[in-house]
């Protein structure tokens, strides 16, 4: 595991979804070193991001079997959430809507022509441009249409998050997510 608070919940959900018993898995904390730990066979499996470490492993020719939490063990959920306090949303709704619109427009532009965005990411992160492009291509289907929240998916995610201990209690979807802001065009 990487050592993130959600790792145990993710591991348990994936193992149980595949018919295993999570308590029989021996874990070790490897931080964000899943790629070298798997390449050198220091570990047999790792909790990692399929669109980052999974792509990096494929690029290095390492054959893996991915259990994607949103496909195999849990409901789909929003990968990226913009956070704002309720008071700020009430006070500055136009600014929040403008920020969401900017994310939507930027995502649409990157989907239309990813080269400028990918070059900026590679430059800012000193990452290999080929790897950045491969990671983008991996997540590209999830980006269209940009900026969306599906209430049923959020309800299922909330149940999952409470059941597996990611959250202490189930959030109220209407209070936790500004569905109207995400839906605005």
**Which of 160, 151, 159 has its CA nearest to residue 180?**
151
What is the rounded CA–CA span in Å between residue 75 and residue 173? 15
- Mean pLDDT, residues 79-89 taken together: 88
- In this prediction the pTM is 0.77
Provide the pLDDT for residue 80. 76
- Higher-pLDDT residue of 184, 97: 97
- In sequence order, what E strands does 56-101 have? none
> Count of residues for the chain?
185
178, 91: one domain: yes
106, 161: one domain: yes
> Is position 165 within any domain?
yes
Provide the pLDDT for residue 120. 98
Long-range contacts (CB closer than 8 Å, 24 or more residues apart) made by 122-130:
130/59
Per-residue pLDDT tens digits for 137-183: 999 998 888 888 888 989 998 999 899 888 999 999 988 999 888 88
Residue 61 pLDDT > 80: yes
What is the rounded CA–CA span in Å between residue 71 and residue 50? 12
Is residue 30 very low, low, confident or very high in pLDDT (cuts 50, 70, 90)?
A: very high
Total structural domains within the chain: 2
Is residue 75 very low, low, confident or very high in pLDDT (cuts 50, 70, 90)?
A: confident
* Final residue of a structural domain among 33, 49, 73: 73
């Amino acid at each position: 595991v990487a050592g993130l608070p959600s790792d145990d919940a993710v591991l348990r959900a994936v193992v149980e979804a595949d018919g295993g018993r999570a308590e029989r898995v021996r874990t070790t904390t490897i931080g964000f070193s899943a790629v070298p730990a798997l390449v050198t066979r220091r570990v047999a499996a790792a909790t990692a991001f399929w669109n980052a470490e999974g792509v990096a492993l494929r690029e290095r020719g390492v054959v893996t079997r991915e259990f994607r939490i949103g496909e195999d063990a849990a409901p789909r959920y929003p990968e990226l959430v913009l956070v704002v306090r309720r008071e700020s949303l009430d006070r500055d709704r136009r600014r929040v809507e403008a920020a969401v619109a900017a994310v939507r427009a930027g995502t649409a532009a990157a989907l239309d022509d990813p080269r400028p965005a990918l070059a900026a990411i590679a430059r800012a992160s000193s990452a290999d441009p080929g790897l950045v492009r491969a990671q983008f291509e991996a997540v590209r289907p999830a980006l269209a249409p940009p900026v969306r929240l599906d209430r049923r998916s959020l309800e299922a995610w909330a149940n999952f998050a409470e059941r597996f201990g990611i959250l202490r209690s189930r959030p109220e979807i209407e209070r936790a997510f500004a569905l109207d802001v995400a839906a605005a065009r």
